[in-house]
């Protein structure tokens, strides 16, 4: 994973709450054996609505998405995160996220920024014409209209994003501890089929 | 190690911590890993690219379910009938190839043991109390019904488990949902789950692991508990746990992958300790008076859009929060419903009985009980009964349930996820309205433009017979 320090530019002012992962990427696009090319299916149903933000040329290629509470609820499909990545989105700002989506986003180098509903509302309004900057070093979101909002984040996740850390390589560094656990007799033995 | 009184979640968690970082992130050992074709191809590719192996193929089990056609899979001569959708066929072939390459036990599409991962795990005894279980699917929460800490994960985490047999996690908060009292006539586990999600919302348990306690749970069969735990994710929970008890042990004894002989006795002795301590503290606790839970059904496009079947479609104007009001208006427009319409006036044209939520033998029995000697209504364009596994299918056939479904006008299909997720050919057409025993009613979930009403198997059967959403008690003489 590439290290991530800042994400800056236009932001899709989506705003709606409870955006589920079926809405982010419908099931028809899950029949793939790769991670790439999923932008074509992203928000497919929403994009059929006239005037939707994803087809507005003003936001083309925007690296930030602003949504309502409980973003990414439902299915655990990591394809939803891959579709956002394929759209060029590296930061999602919302009042809250579903646990599974937040984890999947983080594993793909997408930063999930939790801010209060009023702050999100303000940034949604700003995003219509202005630009935003998410800074992972200082843990702030700033705007072209001089807004500044501080956010907090799990320190491990923040460090992983800043370093572009390969988590599997990190865990394999704990090989001795894993082997000790397995040798201690606490793993429920498996009866083969 | 904690010394204060512990919840069941804390006990299982503590027993699986391999390593703990200063920031509180734990490396948690995963005892059991279920793999299916949709969330795993990229994970295996990642292993190959990095030259990594699967650490414990013996603790892993691969089974196809999402894409499989629910039509016959073998010709009379035993040769394979390929999936008609080329992308599905590629994904299914990739799972089979990856399992072989990495030495993972694999249940093939025509095996008597094939089925939905969350039906297969418990019925084989792959899922055991006190274990940690992971699977690249959100409904993995189901396995918590047996007292396993079972969490859904994404593909990157699937790769992490394959390579290391661990996950990097932070502990979740704890939430007790105490279910007390006897359910009323016509009320099943699904009604209780829907009612609960309607009450706490689809983000009501975000950041938490739920433990279900109380007299209702204790009296419930394991299959009913599986339905409850399965729906935990629809309330946003990371997992849903139910302490194992005599019912759990009776269910597991003799299952192919459950311990045998003296190992069994030793295991049960260990499992008896898997309860929350009497003085254990939960971060949140709520109680549901189950006697008050009505047969329930969803009206909108979120699992929290729940009303009693005796009620009506709500008026968005009644929602105080403008964002919620807008969502409710969009939901009604999508569902083609008017505020105030009695639920019983909503005509249905598709019926789906199945899924990891309600595709087990007790679910099929409950539906067949209503269908016995009856026919589906004229307006029903398609009614499907899809057993959750080959074992469920065979059991149902041994009991003559398939005959009841067929005589009623249902299609009796091969096992799989089917119309719940719309990945194979089993879809609700645009504008079609389905009474479904599945778990999600998001826009387009059962096919582009499909409209879904979630309900119990008995209520789905009632809708099939009348052609509209129906209080099952009216058909069983208990209204």
Q: Which two tokens stand for residue A179?
A: 């082997």
pLDDT attached to residue B2: 65
CA nearest B202: which of A12, A30, A187, A70?
Answer: A70
CA distance A8 to chain B (A): 26
CA nearest A42: which of A3, A69, A82, A97?
Answer: A82
Cβ–Cβ below 8 Å for A192 and B257? yes
Q: What's the distance, CA B154 to chain centroid?
A: 17
pLDDT attached to residue A1: 81
Question: How much is the CA Rg of chain A, to the nearest whole Å?
Answer: 19
| Positive or negative torsion for Cα B110, B111, B117, B119 | positive
Interatomic CA distance for residues A31 and A20, integer angstroms: 19
Q: Judge whether A79 and A60 are in contact, CB under 8 Å.
A: no
Q: Judge whether B143 and B242 are in contact, CB under 8 Å.
A: no
Which are the contacts of B202, defined by CB distance < 8 A and separation ≥ 6? A18, A70, A73, B234, B235, B236, B302, B303, B304
Which are the contacts of B117, defined by CB distance < 8 A and separation ≥ 6? B34, B36, B63, B65, B135, B137, B140, B356
pLDDT attached to residue B479: 64
DSSP β-ladder status, B149-152 and B166-169? unpaired
CA A166 to each of CA A1, A19, B314, B391: distance values in angstroms, whole numbers, following the listed order = 7, 29, 49, 41
CA distance B19 to chain A (A): 7
pLDDT attached to residue A2: 87
Q: Which residues of A touch B326 (CB under 8 A)?
A: 16
Q: Which residues of B touch A22 (CB under 8 A)?
A: 440, 442-445
Interface test with B, best of A13, A14, A23, A30 (most B CBs within 10 A): A30
Tens-digit pLDDT profile for chain A (193 aa)? 889 999 999 999 999 999 999 999 999 999 999 999 999 999 999 999 999 999 999 999 999 999 999 999 999 999 999 999 999 999 999 999 999 999 999 999 999 999 999 999 999 999 999 999 999 999 999 999 999 999 999 999 999 999 999 999 999 999 999 999 999 999 999 999 9
What residues of chain B score a pLDDT lower than 70? Answer: 1-2, 479
Q: What confidence tens digit (pLDDT) does each residue in B101-138 have?
A: 999 999 999 999 999 999 999 999 999 999 999 999 99
pLDDT attached to residue B1: 58
Q: What confidence tens digit (pLDDT) does each residue in B425-441 have?
A: 999 999 999 999 999 99
Interatomic CA distance for residues A46 and A25, integer angstroms: 10
The shortest CB-CB distance from A30 to any of B23, B90, B423 is to: B423
CA nearest B116: which of B124, B410, B330, A149?
Answer: B124
Q: Which residues of B touch A25 (CB under 8 A)?
A: none
């Amino acid at each position: 994973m590439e290290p991530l320090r800042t994400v800056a530019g236009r932001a899709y002012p989506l705003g709606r709450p409870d955006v589920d992962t079926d809405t982010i990427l419908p099931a028809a696009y899950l029949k793939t054996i790769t991670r790439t090319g999923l932008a074509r299916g992203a928000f497919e149903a929403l994009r059929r609505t006239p005037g939707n933000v994803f087809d507005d040329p003003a936001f083309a290629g925007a690296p930030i998405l602003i949504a309502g509470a409980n973003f990414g609820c439902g299915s655990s499909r990591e394809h939803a995160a891959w579709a956002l990545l394929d759209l060029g989105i590296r930061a999602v700002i919302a009042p809250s996220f579903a646990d599974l989506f937040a984890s999947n986003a983080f594993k793909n180098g997408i930063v999930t920024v939790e801010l209060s509903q009023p702050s999100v509302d303000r940034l949604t309004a700003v995003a219509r014409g202005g630009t935003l900057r998410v800074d992972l070093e200082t843990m702030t979101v700033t705007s072209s209209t001089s807004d500044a909002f501080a956010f907090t984040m799990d320190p491990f996740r923040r460090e992983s994003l800043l370093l572009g850390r390969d988590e599997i390589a990190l865990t394999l560094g704990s090989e001795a501890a894993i082997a000790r656990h397995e040798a201690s007799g606490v793993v429920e033995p498996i009866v083969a089929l | 190690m904690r010394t204060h009184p512990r919840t069941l979640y804390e006990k299982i968690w503590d027993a699986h911590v391999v390593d703990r970082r200063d920031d509180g992130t734990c490396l948690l050992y995963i005892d059991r890993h279920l793999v299916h074709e949709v969330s795993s191809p990229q994970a295996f590719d990642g292993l190959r690219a990095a030259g990594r192996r699967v650490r414990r193929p013996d603790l892993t089990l691969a089974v196809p379910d999402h894409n499989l056609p629910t039509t016959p899979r073998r010709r009379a001569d035993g040769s394979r009938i390929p999936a008609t959708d080329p992308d599905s066929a590629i994904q299914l072939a990739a799972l089979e190839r990856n399992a072989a390459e990495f030495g993972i036990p694999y249940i093939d599409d025509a095996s008597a043991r094939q089925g939905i991962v969350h039906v297969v795990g418990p019925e084989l005894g792959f899922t055991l109390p006190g274990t940690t279980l992971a699977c690249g699917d959100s409904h993995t929460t189901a396995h918590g019904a047996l007292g396993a800490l079972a969490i859904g994960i994404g593909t990157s985490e699937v790769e992490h488990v394959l390579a290391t047999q661990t996950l990097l996690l932070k502990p979740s908060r704890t939430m007790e949902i105490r279910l007390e009292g006897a359910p009323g006539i016509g009320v099943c586990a699904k009604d209780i789950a829907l009612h609960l999600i309607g009450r706490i919302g689809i983000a009501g348990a975000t950041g938490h692991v739920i433990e279900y306690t109380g007299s209702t749970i204790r009296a419930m069969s394991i299959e009913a508990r599986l339905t409850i735990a399965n729906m935990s994710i629809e309330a946003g929970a990371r997992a849903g746990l139910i302490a194992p008890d005599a019912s759990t042990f009776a269910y597991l004894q003799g299952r192919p992958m459950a311990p045998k002989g003296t190992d069994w006795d030793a295991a049960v002795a260990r499992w008896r300790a898997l309860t929350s301590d009497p003085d254990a503290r939960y971060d949140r606790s709520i109680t549901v008076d189950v006697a008050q839970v009505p047969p329930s059904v969803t009206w909108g496009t979120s699992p929290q859009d729940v009303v009693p079947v005796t009620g009506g479609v709500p008026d968005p104007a009644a929602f105080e929060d403008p964002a919620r009001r807008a969502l409710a208006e969009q939901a009604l427009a999508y569902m083609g419903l008017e505020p105030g319409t009695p639920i019983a006036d909503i005509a249905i044209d598709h019926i789906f009985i199945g899924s990891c939520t309600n595709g087990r033998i007790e679910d099929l029995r409950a539906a067949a009980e209503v269908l016995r000697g009856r026919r589906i209504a004229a307006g029903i364009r398609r009614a499907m009964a899809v057993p959750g596994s080959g074992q469920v299918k065979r059991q149902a056939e041994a009991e003559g349930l398939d005959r009841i479904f067929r005589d009623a006008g249902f299609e009796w299909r091969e096992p799989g996820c089917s119309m719940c997720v719309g990945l194979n050919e089993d879809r609700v057409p645009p504008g079609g309205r389905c009474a479904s025993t599945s778990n999600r009613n998001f826009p387009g979930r059962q096919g582009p433009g499909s409209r879904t009403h979630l309900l119990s198997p008995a209520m789905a059967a009632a809708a099939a017979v009348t052609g509209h959403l129906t209080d099952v008690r009216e058909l069983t003489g208990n209204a």
